[in-house]
Amino acid sequence: MAAGSSARGSGLNARDAAALTEFAAAAAEQPAFRDPAVALQAELAGSAGRLTDPLRMQIVRLVDAVDVANQAAAESDQFVVPRRPMAIACRSLCGWLAERHPGRSVEVRVPPHAAVQCGVGPEGPTHTRGTPPNVVETDPLTFLRLGTGRISWAQATAAGKVAASGQRADLTMVLPIIG
């Protein structure tokens, strides 16, 4: 990711570290996403308690791999992504979105995990207080799928998975965040 991004919220608290370690260990036992789970375990071991961008990327990759496998599995066979890894994945994607598209023209909300303001489109009015004029809101799994390019903006909006208001509330030109 961007060179300056590692300065953002770089501490990994004990609860998050424990949740990530447990999630990676349980996921490593599943053949469908063993490789990203092992990669996350390795990155966790070398992170020295820091929530670095490489660690964030491995978290996003594992959460995404689990989601891919879950979409193909029967509901009774799905692997549950715990709250903390999902929250870190959403916050990471939001942070990278704001880094790559600085500004305050659109607020992107992924309740209950993250919200960020970013610049979309040509320069124009910015939001500083109150309810912003351009808001995009979606659930964590849809945001993960949008951020990784597994679904397009058009697909998500057509399926009713995104609430977008305002003339700049179209994220087509800023997605995917990672590919």
Task: Specify the pTM.
Answer: 0.90
The pLDDT tens digits along the chain (179 residues) read: 343 443 445 789 999 999 999 999 999 999 999 999 999 999 999 998 899 999 999 999 999 999 999 999 999 999 999 999 999 999 999 999 999 999 888 999 999 999 999 988 776 555 556 677 889 999 999 999 999 999 999 999 999 999 999 888 999 999 999 98
**Is 153 in contact with 141 (CB distance < 8 Å)?**
no
Amino acid at 39: A
Distance of CA 97 to the CA centre of its chain: 9
pLDDT digits (tens, 9 = 90+) for 62-72: 999 999 999 99
pLDDT digits (tens, 9 = 90+) for 131-152: 778 899 999 999 999 999 999 9
Residues 6+ apart with CB under 8 A from 10: 50, 51, 52
